[in-house]
Amino acid sequence: MTIPLLALEDVHAAYLRKEILRGVSLTVNRGEIVGLLGGNGSGKSTTLKAIAGLLRPTKGRIFFDGVDISSDGLYARHEMGIGYLMQGGRVFPNLTVAENFLIATSHAIQRRHSKNAVLGSIFPALTGHASDRAGLLSGGQRQMLAIELAIEMTIAQGPVMLLLDEPAGGLTTNLSRHIIRQITQKIREFHWGALMVEQNITIVQEFCDRALRLKDGTVEVAPV
């Protein structure tokens, strides 16, 4: 029997006393991209935070590559190869693109014991902006940089599971498709797994292998 790269079993999670997740169970296999749909407040981002280690579940278990990681924290999960791209991405606006990349990849380079992290490996357009301050990039360019940094920080750790919270949210349709196409090509090339929160059903239909819908803190299978 094939072991899923990621598995959640009856996961509950709450903020203070307000329960958001009420028994979420799902799996993601290697090489698979799973879309996570749902309305505002349905628990999509909360699910990603629980997997990443930013929120401790009140009940249930989380497995990564067959190992129970329910008690592990954010850093330990990142070291295992779980990468989390928050909505809107994160870059250092006062540093150049090249400096952002150097900070993000310094630990990864040490883990690989070789300097093979190359700016623009996912989004080649970034190479022409290496000396530009990240805060002066367009919204789409900043998102590309944030995604490339998140992936580079993760791939040195081992089995890679990407948690993507609306990776192209707020961008034009064409740019969104370009960004997500580049991410999905990388996922399939290296046989990683991904759980992608997305509001746009057309994007999910085009790029995801299957979709789940969160409703009232539980999971339903969604047609794609």
| Domain range summary for the chain, segments of one domain joined by + | 6-91+141-222
The answer to whether residue 151 scores a pLDDT higher than 70 is: yes
Q: How many CA atoms lie within 13 A of 179 on its CB side?
A: 25
pLDDT at position 87 is: 75
For 2, which DSSP code? Answer: P
More confident residue, 89 or 200: 200
The answer to whether residue 115 scores a pLDDT higher than 70 is: no
- What the block records as the tokens of 120 is 């623009």
CA distance 4 to 10: 16
Instruction: Please indicate, yes or no, whether the overall pTM of this predicted structure exceeds 0.85.
Output: yes
Mean pLDDT of all residues in 104-126 = 69
More confident residue, 151 or 58: 58
**Please, are residues 54 and 74 in contact by the beta-carbon 8 Å criterion?**
yes
Instruction: Write the pLDDT tens digit of every residue in 182-195.
Output: 999 989 988 999 99
Spell out the residues 6+ positions from residue 200 whose beta carbon is closer than 8 angstroms to its own: 176
The answer to whether residue 98 scores a pLDDT higher than 50 is: yes
Query: What distance lies between CA 199 and its chain's CA centroid?
Result: 15
CA distance 199 to 87: 12
The one-letter amino acid at 191: H
- What the block records as the tokens of 72 is 């592990």
pLDDT at position 135 is: 93
- What the block records as the tokens of 97 is 């693109």
Beta strand 6-15 with 161-165: parallel, antiparallel or unpaired? unpaired
Which one of 3.40.50.970, 3.10.310.10, 3.40.50.300, 3.40.50.150 gives the CATH number of domain 6-91+141-222? 3.40.50.300
- Is 116 in a helix, a strand, or coil? coil
Mean pLDDT of all residues in 8-27 = 94
Judged on CB neighbours under 10 Å (0-12, 13-18, 19+), 223 is: exposed
Instruction: Write the pLDDT tens digit of every residue in 30-63.
Output: 999 999 999 988 999 999 999 999 999 999 999 9
Mean pLDDT of all residues in 157-164 = 86
pLDDT at position 113 is: 41
| CB neighbour burial string for 198-212, b if at least 16 within 10 angstroms, e if fewer | bebeebbeebbeebb
